[in-house]
Amino acid sequence: MNEQHRERRLSGPWAKIQAAFWLIGLAIIAWQDWWWPGILVLIAISLIIQAILMRFSPQSFEQVEPPPEQVKQPPSIPPQPITTPAPESIHDHRLELLPTECPKCGGPIRGHEVKWTGPQSADCPFCGANLPMAR
């Protein structure tokens, strides 16, 4: 970044004087109930004071370094263990034997949502009732 384009801010006692100037200026504006254009006058006087200080006392300013670019990384997702059913259990779960609705709660039954408790035995994902298998 070019030296001329770096941001500068008042440091040391000059920053405290600038803050006191603003507080006193705002108090006067509030006391006189002169908000418009009083705030513009306060900003103009503040900028003029800063320009005079920059011209005659450049050591009263400090360089402000821009923060380094932070690279946003996507949130890390912990790896999930891959569980594959044993080859013999793939054929044991017979989806065609499942009822379409739970006889106890009436919830829809889907093969990937039920909790298989045995090769041909499953529980309802909603109420936990054991589902009767069709023969």
H-run or E-run covering 17: helix 13-32
Q: In what order do the strands lie in the sheet with 121-123?
A: 115-118, 121-123, 130-131
20 and 59 housed in the same domain: yes
60 and 111 housed in the same domain: no
60 and 94 housed in the same domain: no
100 and 59 housed in the same domain: no
What pLDDT, in 10s, does the model give residues 47-99?
A: 888 777 777 776 776 666 666 665 566 677 777 776 665 554 444 677 788 88
Residue type, 72: K
**Model confidence, pTM:** 0.38
**What is the number of structural domains in the chain?**
2
Show the domain range for 60.
3-64
Q: Is residue 115 part of a domain?
A: yes
The first and second tokens of residue 67, run together, are 């923060």
50 and 99 housed in the same domain: no
Among 86, 79, 132, 91, which residue's Cα sits nearest to residue 109?
Answer: 132
Q: Is residue 43 part of a domain?
A: yes
Q: Is residue 82 part of a domain?
A: no
What pLDDT, in 10s, does the model give residues 12-51?
A: 777 777 888 888 888 988 888 888 888 898 888 888 887 7
11 and 57 housed in the same domain: yes
Q: Is residue 75 part of a domain?
A: no
What would the DSSP string read from start to end of 55-108? Answer: HH-GGGEEEEPPPPPPPP-PPPPPPPPP----HHHHHH--GGGS-SB-TTT--B
15 neighbors 23 (Cβ within 8 angstroms): no
